[in-house]
Amino acid sequence: MAAPSSLASSHLYRLADLRRAGVAAAAPAHPQQLRLGCSRRRAQRVVAMAGSGKFFVGGNWKCNGTKDSVSKLVTELNAATLEPDVDVVVAPPFIYIDQVKNSLTDRIEVSAQNVWIGKGGAYTGEISAEQLVDIGCQWVILGHSERRHVIGEDDQFIGKKAAYALSQNVKVIACIGELLEEREAGKTFDVCFKQMKAFADSITNWADVVIAYEPVWAIGTGKVATPEQAQEVHAAVRDWLKTNVSPEVASGIRIIYGGSVNAANCAELAKKEDIDGFLVGGASLKGPDFATIINSVTSKKVAA
């Protein structure tokens, strides 16, 4: 699927270039040439990405699983060899969180898929942030397209959810993304920035937030944004944060990609500068495939 011309790619790449120009004076223009001139020094592999912190991979299990299938998946994840410099989180259905917490290696943290907007009480069917903390759940996914477009949650409601979860020390994977008709109409940035504004209107501390860009047309469809399409939106969101929140938040936050990410396409996506990891759906239900996606961080490593 081609990116719409109205996305103004050249303008965004110029912004990205300007953003990187701030470190140009401190960094050599041609690091490869520098390494050739220092051949006696053994090169180390470092992760090169726009956001600071570790590469981040989340697995959203959605409404899938049984006690037996969850047990099998946990066994596969416990046995997997995972690159050390990646933060890994899985999000089981609510009723299996305790099972997963009690059996999954501490190497992988656990997330909920939703949370109530405030303190618990007479809210049938809801789960509070306090309850998540009580069972040792460290993260929550908020703003996923299925909550927005199937359940009907609006931007402001999601932003307030995020603020309350953070106030209770539950870290947030904040999802944004456009519908197919919005992309085809050239409204990708408008939609993503509007969703970002709702988060920014409510969130004051971004230290425990990861942003997940998930184009709705790519979720569970088998379609995936090209690495260039994904990078374009990630760079735009980072520039929006720089202008509307702060340069410090923009340079520090991790922006991850979701939308039919699998073991076959993750390496090429991971190479893009502003893609700091992934939020994975169906492929996270297969232990070996999820491990491959986690280990795609090696595609982002460069010698230094």
- CB count within 10 Å of CB 40 equals 4
Cα dihedral sign for 129, 135, 141, 143?
negative
Q: Which one is catalytic: 109, 144, 178, 234? A: 144
Q: Write the burial class of residue 242 (CB in 10 Å: 0-12 exposed, 13-18 middle, 19+ buried).
A: middle
- At which residue do the structure tokens 């939609």 appear? 191
Calpha distance 133→101 (Å, rounded)? 12
Calpha distance 98→77 (Å, rounded)? 16
Calpha distance 271→296 (Å, rounded)? 9
Return the closest-CA partner of residue 73 out of 240, 263, 291: 291
Calpha distance 55→257 (Å, rounded)? 11
Q: Write the burial class of residue 271 (CB in 10 Å: 0-12 exposed, 13-18 middle, 19+ buried).
A: middle
Q: Which one is catalytic: 146, 182, 214, 232? A: 214
Specify whether 11 is catalytic: no
Instruction: Detail the DSSP E strand segments found in 8-54.
Output: 45-47
- H/E stretch holding 209: strand 209-213
- At 216, the amino acid letter reads V
- At 276, the amino acid letter reads D
Specify whether 181 is catalytic: no
Q: Catalytic residue positions? A: 144, 214
